[in-house]
Amino acid sequence: MKALEITGGQELSGTIRVSGAKNACVAILPAAILSDEEVTVCNVPELTDTDALCEILNSLNVSVKRASESVIIDPSKMINVEITENYSKKLRASYYFMGALLGKYKKAVMYFPGGCSIGARPINLHLKGFEALGAKVTNDRNKYIVEADELKGANICLDFASVGATINIMLAATKAKGTTIIDNAAREPEIVNIATFLNNMGARISGAGTSTIKIQGVDSLHKCFHEIIPDRIEAGTYTIIGALCGKNLKIDNIIPEHLDSLISKLIEIGVDIEVGQDYLVVSKKDNYKATTVKTAVYPGFPTDLQQPLTVLLTQCSGKSKVIETIWENRFMHIVYLNNLGSDITIKNQTATIIGPTELKGVKVVATDLRAGAAMIAAGLIAEGTTTITNVEHILRGYEQIVEKLTSVGAKIRNKEI
Ligand code: EPZ
């Protein structure tokens, strides 16, 4: 079994370059099939999620050529076949093929998507959006058939500002007849990047990044060149690591405003952070202050950073709280942080952290992607050796994390156990 072994106590200095955003990439690759011609996407992170999506593209006879950080996708000879359960459950984002295939062929056949076990992760809002556009959804256990004689623009108001549903409805509406309005749309930066990609292919989308997105249907989409934005969650994870054990650690290739909620929280705690045009420099300081963090939809504090941030809160003096409002099961890392020596209790959707506490290396499990990142952050400051298993979760979302951390002085290595 793949594992990571970390010897804590090293001071990290130097530069970490942030890769392309996983949560933009996993929508852009499926969205590429909407084009009638070849598209080129650059700054594509090398992740197992990216590999899984390329496998699904190949299963649809879409040619995928990878050249370092770029991917050339040619859907001109693609076929609309069922996406098997084996492929569908590889990752949550497989469901973007539902919106893309419906938008292109008015028919999609696939299975319930996979993804981290941080909640039930229903897709009812996606399906309601497709039905509003005129599609019929047939669901037989895990299998979904979504088809329409015609897709017509509609006014859709989301019960919750769901990232996935916003994107999936945008994909299905791109070639619908007439205009679609999505109200209470999610505002995450990845949605803006995906809308920009679609517009580069000839779509007519406005309002992405606000709560109201307008999509005027077009007949066809064409070739384009597109760049994926830097990954704000990867950047935030390394910034938190810098606050734990960095000395002038530079996090390069970022869009600072995408990290506003994290940066203001770190300043409140007492972290030494200097923000530049497209980078930040962070150093560990002493006497961090406890605080309360409540996760929210963008531009609020991102749920994807609450798990790594919890490690920093174990080093803050006093009582901190993390209130998780997005996912019902996103505290699976807490038991392992307590095994390392932290003092955290959970009541309903609130984790209470008493700090500071000394962490001592033990064997821990990466229960999901961002919990795994939290285990790495903890291992970097724990005394002695921390061994992390189930690291496949981590490799889904952090490109070359071992190499990046090693390059700035961390003692971390892959291990077979
Ligand atoms: C995206 O998931 C991200 N994943 C998640 O990041 C992130 O945590 C989440 O957005 C929130 O920011 C990708 O982009 C691949 P949602 P998504 O739809 O789209 C409920 C990571 O670590 N909901 O905004 O699945 C849902 O249960 C991952 O990179 C419905 O009820 O999130 C949850 O409570 C983890 N019905 C809330 O909305 C639906 O049809 C947020 O879900 C859809 C969602």
Question: Contact at 8 Å (CB) between 17 and 202?
Answer: no
**Bridge partners for 80 per DSSP:** none
Strand-by-strand arrangement of the 279-283 sheet: 12-17, 246-252, 279-283, 272-275
CA 194 centroid distance within chain: 13
The mean predicted confidence, pLDDT, of the chain is: 97
Q: pTM of the prediction?
A: 0.97
Token pair for 61:
């006879």
Residue 243 Cβ < 6 Å to ligand 1: no
Closest CA to 151 of 165, 136, 133: 133
State which of 19, 23, 194 you would mutate to test the pocket of ligand 1, scoring each by most atoms of that ligand within 8 A of its C-beta.
Answer: 23
Give catalytic residues, as residue numbers: 116
Ligand 1 atom at minimal distance to the Cα of residue 126: 40
Cβ(93) – ligand 1 distance below 6 Å: yes
Among 66-70, 358-362, 394-398, which stretch is predicted with the lowest mean pLDDT?
A: 66-70
From the CB of 165, is ligand 1 less than 6 Å away?
yes
Residues of the chain with CATH 3.65.10.10: 2-19+230-416, 22-227
Rounded CA separation 204/218 (Å): 7
Q: Are 198 and 33 in contact (CB under 8 A)?
A: no
pLDDT value, residue 314: 98
Cα–ligand 1 centroid distance for 171 (angstroms): 17
Ligand 1 near 53 CB (within 6 A): no
Q: What is the pLDDT of residues 178-195, one digit of tens each?
A: 999 999 999 999 999 999
Best mutation site among 22, 326, 368 for ligand 1, i.e. most ligand atoms within 8 A of its Cβ? 326
Q: Is the CB of 164 under 6 A from ligand 1?
A: yes
Could you identify the residue written with the tokens 């749920």? 303
64: pLDDT confidence band, cut at 50, 70 and 90? Answer: very high
Q: Are 312 and 288 in contact (CB under 8 A)?
A: yes
Q: How confident is the model at residue 120 (pLDDT cuts 50, 70, 90)?
A: confident
List residues bridging with 109 in a β-sheet. Answer: 145
The radius of gyration of the chain from alpha carbons, rounded to an integer in Å, stands at: 21
Q: Establish whether residue 119 lines the binding site of ligand 1, counting it when its CB lies within 6 angstroms of any ligand atom.
A: yes
Q: Is 396 helix (H, G, I), strand (E, B) or coil?
A: coil
Query: Which CATH number does the domain 22-227 belong to among 3.65.10.10, 3.90.550.10, 3.40.640.10, 2.60.40.10?
Result: 3.65.10.10
Which pLDDT tens digit goes with each residue over 134-189? 999 999 888 999 999 999 999 999 999 999 999 999 999 999 999 999 999 999 99
15 bridge partner residues? 250
Pocket test for ligand 1, best of 146, 160, 325, 331 (most atoms within 8 A of CB): 160
Determine whether 120 is exposed, middle or buried from the number of CB atoms within 10 Å of its CB (0-12, 13-18, 19+): exposed
Amino acid 85: pLDDT: 93
164 Cα to the center of ligand 1, angstroms: 6
Q: Residue 121 pLDDT > 90, yes or no?
A: no
Closest CA to 33 of 51, 55, 60: 60
pLDDT at position 117 is 82
Reported as a pLDDT band with limits 50, 70 and 90, residue 115 is confident
Rounded CA separation 337/346 (Å): 12
Query: Which atom of ligand 1 lies at the shortest distance from residue 119's CA?
Result: 27
DSSP one-letter code for 301? B
Class of the 2-19+230-416 domain?
alpha beta
Poorest-confidence range of 27-36, 66-75, 263-272? Answer: 66-75
Nearest atom within ligand 1 for CA of residue 368: 22
Atom 39 of ligand 1: nearest residue by CA position? 123
Ligand 1 touching residue 167 (CB < 6 A): no
